[in-house]
Structure 1
Amino acid sequence: MTRAVDDRSDGELDPAIAERVRQTFDEMPALDLVGAELASIGVGRCEVAVPYRRDLTQQQGFLHAGVVSMIADTAGGLAARTMMPPEKTVLAVEFKINLMSPAIGDRFHAVARVLKPGRTLTICEIDVYAETGGDQGRDGEGRRHCARMQQTCIAIDRR
Structure 2
Amino acid sequence: MVAEERVRSSFARQGLMETLGATLVRVAPGAVEIALRPGPGVSQQHGFVHAGAISAIADSAAGYAALSLMPAGTGVLTTEFKINLLAPAAGERIVARGRVVKAGRTLTLAQSEVFAETAGQEKLIALLTATLMAVRGREGVSD
Q: Which amino acid aligns with 2:130?
A: Q
Supply the distance in 2 between the matched residues of 1:85 and 1:16 (Cα, whole angstroms). Answer: 10
Q: Does 1:153 align with 2:139?
A: no
Q: Does 1:103 align with 2:89?
A: yes
- SS of equivalent to 1:145: strand
**Retained in 1: the 8 A contact 2:100–2:111?**
yes
Q: CA deviation at 1:55?
A: 2.0
Counterpart of 2:68 in structure 1 is 82
TM-score, normalised on structure 1? 0.84
Provide the identity percentage.
Answer: 41
Q: CA deviation at 1:72?
A: 0.1
Alignment of 1:8-157 (within 5 A): 16-133=2-119, 136=120, 142-157=121-136
Give structure 1 stretches of 5+ with no counterpart.
1-14, 137-141
Give structure 2 stretches of 5+ with no counterpart.
none
Higher relative contact order, structure no. (Cα contacts within 8 Å, ≥ 6 residues apart)? 2
- SS of equivalent to 1:31: helix
Count of aligned positions: 138
Q: Structure 1: which 4+ aligned runs deviate by more than 6 Å?
A: none
Q: CA deviation at 1:147?
A: 0.1
